[in-house]
Amino acid sequence: MKKIASYTLMLVCLLFIAQIAFSQAKQEQKSDKSPFLFEKGNTSIKFGGFIRAVTFADFGGSVPNYDFISSTQSAPNVWDNESRLSFDASATRLNLKVIQKVDKIGDIEFFVETDFRGASDVLRLRQAYVSFAGFTLGQTWSFMSDLPANAPTIDIQGVNSRTFFRTPLIGYRHSFDNGLSLGIALEFPKVKMVTVSGIKAVNQNYPDVPVYVQYKNKNGHIKLAGVVRNLEYGYVAGEKIKSEVGLGVQLSGMHKFGKSFSIYSQIIYGKGVARYINDLAALNLDLVTDNVNGGVQAIPMYGASLGIKADLSKSLYFTSNYSVSGVSVKDNYYSAKDYFRGSYYSASLFWGVVKNLTIAGEYIHGYRQNMDLSLGNANRAQLMVMYSF
């Protein structure tokens, strides 16, 4: 009875939010100009964001997060973590974009974005940057990220192989008239490692350096990116700082076939680049134990995804993704119960009810496999109502 009551409450909440959003959307359709856009002289100010409510149920295994991160589930499954019912509105976002037109250097853009995914669902900073003349300074998406290379999902984190994080950076991009663009950045370093006896995590002194080249046309894009990292750690004996080199290369893109079908793909391979792979970023895998030589090491790892999007009508579309990620070695690693590889599958249906109002449903399946090949599975069904402004 408690479970039925919980489902009923979630459904009532979603219907209530949908009714409010539907009424607001009907009012906004009367005018093409956003009521949150203010323009004066050479400056424009736009308030934006969305209200997003999701209810979800995990079954046959569960993931202990609002986002479906395959690597964080139990392997093998445990009896007291087989199912879960939850409701999440913390991904609701607010943002402010200011654009000032300047003759000498072009537009100067200021952007600030927040959501409610801080500790205990409090307001937190997602992005805050200024960009001008090709330069970007502040906190925003890593230059390795390629968000359009993955088919849309309700799940914010998305497929387990993608590069998906924001970081403080100083970057430069340059676009050519033929659709070609280049980029390079100095990004704030962060290393998650296994700390073994006599070795400790230390402050990082050298930035991650991602570079990319991208070609884009009306049917899609293709992006080749790479990153170089200096992963520092400390030896307690002698109080010495040592380092391992991390290297990674990524190929990603999307292509639209005709008017109603698109394909998405992304593949990454490297050593010591756990930060750049969703599943691995949740674990301490940038540096791991070296059981033969002692100390720690950077090991090879990979991620790959394939997705599709089919437009069923002007307001209805279907998406699906399949993704795998993992480490490429089992020898000289650490204990048998630690992560070896995982997968992620999603099938989603999105309906644009009216302008700015979207309702969507989604099914996700994922597994985690450990070094001893023990396996854990999880499933999720979820429903989303989102109103954008």
For the cut 80, the answer to whether the pLDDT of residue 332 exceeds it is no
The span from the CA of 87 to the CA of 6, in Å, is: 10
Please count the structural domains in the chain: 1
Summarize the confidence of residues 183-189 as an average pLDDT: 98
The domain in which residue 218 lies consists of 2-388
The per-residue pLDDT for 292 is 79
3-class SS of residue 120: helix
Which residues of 81-208 form beta strands (DSSP E)?
84-88, 93-102, 106-115, 124-132, 135-141, 166-175, 180-187, 199-201
What is the pLDDT confidence band of residue 336, given thresholds at 50, 70 and 90? low
Residue among 191, 200, 160, 124 at smallest CA distance from 325: 160
Q: Is 329 exposed, middle or buried (0-12, 13-18, 19+ CB in 10 A)?
A: middle
Percentage of the chain beyond pLDDT 90 is 77
- What is the model's pTM? 0.88
For the cut 60, the answer to whether the pLDDT of residue 85 exceeds it is yes
For the cut 70, the answer to whether the pLDDT of residue 374 exceeds it is yes
The per-residue pLDDT for 15 is 56
Summarize the confidence of residues 139-158 as an average pLDDT: 97
For the cut 80, the answer to whether the pLDDT of residue 154 exceeds it is yes
3-class SS of residue 70: helix
Token readout for 341 is 């590889």
For residue range 47-84, list pLDDT tens digits in order: 999 999 999 999 999 999 999 999 999 999 998 889 99
For the cut 50, the answer to whether the pLDDT of residue 2 exceeds it is no
Phi-psi region of 297 (alpha: psi -120 to 50; beta: other; left: phi over 0): beta
The per-residue pLDDT for 237 is 87
- CATH number of the domain within which 274 lies: 2.40.160.10
Average pLDDT, the chain: 90
For residue range 280-289, list pLDDT tens digits in order: 999 999 998 8
